[in-house]
Amino acid sequence: CSPSSLAYDTAGGLDLGVATAKVAALCGVTLPSISGTKYTGLTGSCGGHTGSYHFHGGFECFEDASGTHSPKVGVAGSYNVYGRFEDQDSGKYPLLDACGAHFGYTPESPSTSVYHYHIQRDAPFTIGCHGPSSSLTYGGLVTVAECRTLYSKCSESPDSLTFGGSTYTYMRDCPCFDADGLNYGTPTELYAIGNYSSTPSSWVKSYDVSDWKCRAPHGGCIPTIAEILAAGTTSTTSFAAVTKVSLIAMLATAALAVLA
How much is the mean pLDDT over the chain?
88
What pLDDT score was predicted for residue 16?
95
pLDDT in tens, 97-139: 999 999 999 999 999 999 999 999 999 999 999 999 999 999 9
**Total structural domains within the chain:** 1
pTM score, whole prediction:
0.88
Distance separating alpha carbons of residues 87 and 66, to the nearest angstrom: 9
Q: Are strands 54-55 and 79-82 parallel, antiparallel or unpaired?
A: unpaired
Torsions phi, psi for 55 (to 5 deg) = -110, 150
Torsions phi, psi for 18 (to 5 deg) = -70, -35
Distance separating alpha carbons of residues 193 and 1, to the nearest angstrom: 42
Of the pLDDT bands very low, low, confident and very high (cuts 50, 70, 90), residue 9 is: very high
Residue 159 forms beta bridges with which residues?
170
Distance separating alpha carbons of residues 124 and 164, to the nearest angstrom: 22
Which domain does 134 fall in, by range? 4-258
233 or 67, which is more confident: 67
